[in-house]
Structure 1
Amino acid sequence: MSEERRRELAESLQEVRARLDAACRAAGRDPSEVELVAVTKTFPASDAALLSDLGLTEFAENREQEARGKVAEFAELRPDAAVRWRMVGQLQRNKARAVVRWADVVESVDSERLVDALQRATANALDAGDRDDPLDVLIQVNLDPRPERGGCPPEDVPALAEKIAVSSDLRLRGVMAVAPLYGDPEVAFATLSVISERVRRDHPEAGEVSAGMSGDLESAVAHGSTRVRVGTALLGGRRLTSP
């Protein structure tokens, strides 16, 4: 872990935090209300370790196979670090058993069948001693008309939230969304805010809103995001393959 890379990450982190602070001030919000999540996909565990040294405690991955090894390596590099790992990519049901062994949070829950798979996998992991706590989950809301981007249709969110809420092995924590590739992120995040309010009315414990990335975090913060997921602005351009 080179000193040069440490400096690069420290400078990027300072810039991202400055953007977050400015976005919060513009929205009349306290910066402490918005958590920064480092999206470390395609970057090595050593980068996550350096970011942990710099004070970050939330990390996200979008591919189970890559994340599994990275989380294990991070634990070796920083065995005493109190961090949480989040799964933010689309998740196939047959990966549920593997994901619950390393993820503290799954943000990309978008169907009842995936809920069933995660519930079974979490119950088995708890029984086997592979995890100590129920799995925190967020409902990914589809704000893009193209289904390939994943997410639960907005009209189906209340029923999915209720299904999660009655599970003893899953804990509903809120909603997540990605702004559409083509369209106004302001409109998308305003829609997510309305959906989040509806979920919180029925489930007061589900207050998280995971929205906003490197290019649109200001819009997300303006509409109530409590978690921004930043990769490029923090770690640099994506690598083509995992190290």
Structure 2
Amino acid sequence: MTAEFEPVPAHGEPPRGAPSAPTPARLAGVEAGVVDRLHAFESDLEAQLSLCGRRREEVHVIVVTKYHTPELAEVLYAAGQRDFGENTLQGLHAKLEAGGSALESARWHFIGQLQRKKAGQVARLAWAIHSIDRTELVDRIDRVELDHAVDAFVQVSLDGQPDRGGVLIEQMDALVERVLASPHLRLKGLMAVAPLGADADPAFERLQELSARIRRVAPEADSISAGMSGDWQAALRHGATHLRIGTAITGKPVSAR
């Protein structure tokens, strides 16, 4: 890669300097219009935040790049995007390996269901993990040596469906306490996905109530990771601070067309 990118920051420090554009060779096959969609989403987000009486700096947009190429992530990085999400260790590793210093400087969020045997490896690579839903994951992460603390979201199940991940609400407090005791994890708040086929507003209202509950124990854990391409507006109305946006920005992967 011939383009020069800003230096890799220390974990917890935001990337510095102006983004550089990837070379034409790296753009081959990249989804056309992805930067336009990024800008359009930002405009929609500003409008929704205004309706909610909230500020842009309150919200982090995580662009979900699963099933997409590292080149697409590079294009978004060059356009100013800094937060990206992957749902598998393989996908996360592939982006970091292929993307060079540009994508190493990005903030990578692990958003998929986390396997215990891979938890330590994910913790070494990720800026944040949004899917801590059982104590076994924390135990495994605490066994590895890390040179940084990893931001952690406790994933809560709002519908009780085990195949979608998330700790049951009645077990949430114990898991929160375990994360708070971890030397490697820094509790940021809660994460959830809305129940399938249901109105997202009541679900995210419940998540907001649960967030208020854990802040009585951990006042600094005031983040809410909620909202995807189809329901992010509802998430914003109920205090979401981290939106996980895929196709609304990235478009569909080539293999899905």
Q: Structure 2 length as normaliser, TM-score?
A: 0.85
Shift of residue 6, structure 1, vs aligned partner: 7.7
Shift of residue 82, structure 1, vs aligned partner: 3.4
Distance (whole Å) between structure 1 residues aligned to residue 161 and residue 233 of structure 2 = 24
Deviations, residues 46-100 of structure 1 (Å, cap 9, x unaligned): 11111111111111000111211212222x1527x63210110001100112212
Deviations, residues 17-40 of structure 1 (Å, cap 9, x unaligned): 112111111111112211110000
Contact 1:90/1:108 (CA < 8 Å) preserved in 2?
yes
Q: Work out which of the residue numbers 72, 78, 85 in structure 1 matches 2:108.
A: 85
1:237 corresponds in structure 2 to 252
Contact 2:123/2:141 (CA < 8 Å) preserved in 1?
yes
Distance (whole Å) between structure 1 residues aligned to residue 49 and residue 71 of structure 2 = 30
1:145 corresponds in structure 2 to 160
- Report whether the alignment pairs 1:120 with 2:143: yes
2:198 corresponds in structure 1 to 183
2:129 corresponds in structure 1 to 106
Distance (whole Å) between structure 2 residues aligned to residue 146 and residue 177 of structure 1 = 12
The structure richer in helix per residue is 1
Change (3 A) 1:140 1:240: farther
- Matched residue SS, 1:229: strand
Q: Which has the higher contact order (CA 8 A, sep 6+)?
A: 1
- Report whether the alignment pairs 1:37 with 2:62: yes
Shift of residue 240, structure 1, vs aligned partner: 3.8
Distance (whole Å) between structure 2 residues aligned to residue 148 and residue 4 of structure 1 = 34
Distance (whole Å) between structure 2 residues aligned to residue 134 and residue 25 of structure 1 = 34
Contact 2:131/2:154 (CA < 8 Å) preserved in 1?
yes
- Matched residue SS, 2:54: coil
Unpaired segments of 5 or more residues in structure 2?
1-25
- Report whether the alignment pairs 1:163 with 2:178: yes
Aligned residues: 231
Contact 1:139/1:174 (CA < 8 Å) preserved in 2?
yes
- Matched residue SS, 1:187: helix
Distance (whole Å) between structure 1 residues aligned to residue 139 and residue 254 of structure 2 = 34
1:129 corresponds in structure 2 to none
Shift of residue 227, structure 1, vs aligned partner: 0.7
- Matched residue SS, 1:171: strand
- Matched residue SS, 1:202: coil
1:50 corresponds in structure 2 to 75
Unpaired segments of 5 or more residues in structure 1?
127-131
Distance (whole Å) between structure 1 residues aligned to residue 214 and residue 97 of structure 2 = 34
Q: Structure 1 length as normaliser, TM-score?
A: 0.89
Larger displacement relative to structure 2 (215-224 or 60-69): 60-69
- Report whether the alignment pairs 1:94 with 2:127: no
Once the two structures are aligned, what percentage of the paired residues are identical? 39
2:96 corresponds in structure 1 to 71
Distance (whole Å) between structure 2 residues aligned to residue 40 and residue 86 of structure 1 = 10
Contact 1:63/1:89 (CA < 8 Å) preserved in 2?
yes
Distance (whole Å) between structure 2 residues aligned to residue 182 and residue 78 of structure 1 = 38
